């Protein structure tokens, strides 16, 4: 048996998969319908939407098998993500890479396999839409075209949530994305009894009526990029309004959050345009709050109130 090799872009591939926040989520009709249609149209007993995690292949949808995941090192899909085209094994018992694979020798006794890679927005392969049969077979050109079409539909569904939770200007999370992910962070903090701190920021538009020397959108992008370079992997950053942003610092008490703020200042955030003339923003309002509530909605409401209250926020000029 040949163990699947790691793609050369494995780190960024896993990051793209993680960004979807889909691993270990419950079954969804929109995916189950596609696997069922794939199974019925191509007349196979098994159809699977498989996502390749660090050490496993996890099934977002599976029709014809009663398992939710298998080890990555015995997966067929781990091989399929190395190419752009459909990965086809007509008869696994006659292929030296798979003949002694546990999935071939034992249940589900795979003979035929065809997996179409599912691509992330950056082109990396997240997993496959695959079909399986317990008897050898071929896949005609027309059937390959059908499988590719179903895979394209799966990709669109995978990124529906991604598009809905991302800010198109900065490619950071938007308010909806923050609400979704922050609640997970808060639940973990509550369960583990660890502190969590929110930092709210607001770019204050210039009161000048003169034309800006720098496009405000460009300034916001630079501002966001500077912040992202300062964050840890466990931190959450989002653009929650046109000029407002929030950072959620996991397992971070107030004193450590203050140190984090000082590091932010060192990234030259007080001048996000890197320009001296006619800046789109004259200052950055900042409010820090140790979170003690139970919902993200309460956190956002209090943070935005703090930004409006001059006694509770500071300004960088």
Q: pLDDT of 301-317, one tens digit each?
A: 888 888 887 766 565 54
Question: Which of 19, 16, 30, 25 minimizes the C-alpha distance to 60?
Answer: 25
Q: What residues does 47 pair with on adjacent strands? A: 63, 131
**pLDDT score, position 124:** 92
Question: Which of 63, 1, 69, 8 minimizes the C-alpha distance to 36?
Answer: 63
The burial of 299, by beta-carbon neighbours within 10 Å (0-12 exposed, 13-18 middle, 19 or more buried), is given as buried
**pLDDT score, position 276:** 47
**pLDDT score, position 216:** 82
**pLDDT tens digit string along 3-32?**
999 999 999 899 889 888 899 988 999 999
**pLDDT score, position 177:** 86
Whole-number Å distance between alpha carbons of 155 and 118: 6
| Residue 8 neighbours by CB under 8 Å, 6+ apart | none
**pLDDT score, position 211:** 47
Is the whole-model pTM more than 0.85?
no
The maximal CA–CA distance of the chain, rounded, in angstroms, is: 75
Query: What mean pLDDT value characterizes the chain?
Result: 86
What number of other Cβ atoms are within 10 A of residue 168's Cβ?
8
Domains of the chain, earliest start first: 10-164 (3.30.450.40), 175-316 (3.30.70.270)
Residue 235's φ and ψ, nearest 5 degrees, are -85, 155
**pLDDT score, position 146:** 96
Question: Is it true that the peptide bond before 108 is cis, omega within 30 degrees of 0?
Answer: yes
Question: Which of 316, 208, 204, 218 minimizes the C-alpha distance to 269?
Answer: 316
Question: Which of 281, 258, 119 minimizes the C-alpha distance to 195?
Answer: 258
Q: Which regions in the chain score pLDDT beneath 70?
A: 206-214, 266-284, 286, 289-294, 311-317
């Amino acid at each position: 048996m040949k163990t699947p090799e790691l793609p050369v872009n494995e780190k960024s591939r896993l990051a793209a998969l993680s960004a979807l926040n889909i691993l270990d989520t419950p079954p969804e009709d929109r995916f189950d319908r596609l696997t069922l249609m794939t199974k019925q149209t191509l007349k196979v007993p098994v159809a699977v939407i498989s996502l390749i995690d660090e050490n496993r292949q996890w099934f977002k949808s599976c029709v014809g098998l009663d398992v939710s995941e298998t080890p990555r090192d015995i997966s067929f899909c781990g091989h399929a993500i190395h190419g752009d085209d459909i990965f086809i094994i007509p008869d696994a018992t006659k292929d030296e890479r798979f003949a002694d694979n546990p999935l071939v020798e034992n249940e589900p006794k795979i003979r035929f396999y065809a997996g179409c890679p599912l691509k992330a927005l950056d082109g990396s392969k997240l997993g496959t839409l695959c079909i399986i049969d317990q008897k050898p077979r071929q896949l005609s050109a027309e059937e390959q075209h059908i499988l590719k079409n179903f895979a394209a539909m799966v990709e669109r569904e995978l990124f529906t949530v991604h598009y809905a939770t991302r800010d198109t200007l900065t490619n950071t999370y938007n308010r909806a994305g923050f609400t979704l992910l922050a609640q997970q962070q808060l639940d973990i903090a509550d369960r583990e009894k660890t502190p969590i701190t929110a930092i709210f920021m607001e770019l204050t538009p210039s009161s000048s009526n003169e034309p800006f020397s720098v496009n405000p959108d460009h300034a916001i992008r630079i501002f966001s990029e500077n912040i992202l370079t300062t964050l840890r992997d466990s931190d959450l950053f989002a653009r929650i309004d046109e000029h407002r942003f929030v950072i959620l610092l996991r397992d971070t008490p107030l004193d450590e959050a203050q140190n984090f703020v000082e590091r932010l200042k060192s990234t030259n955030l007080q001048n996000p345009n890197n320009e001296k003339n006619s800046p789109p923003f004259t200052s950055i309002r900042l409010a820090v709050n140790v979170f003690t509530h139970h919902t993200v909605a309460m956190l956002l409401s209090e943070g935005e109130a703090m930004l409006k209250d001059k006694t509770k926020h500071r300004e960088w000029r």
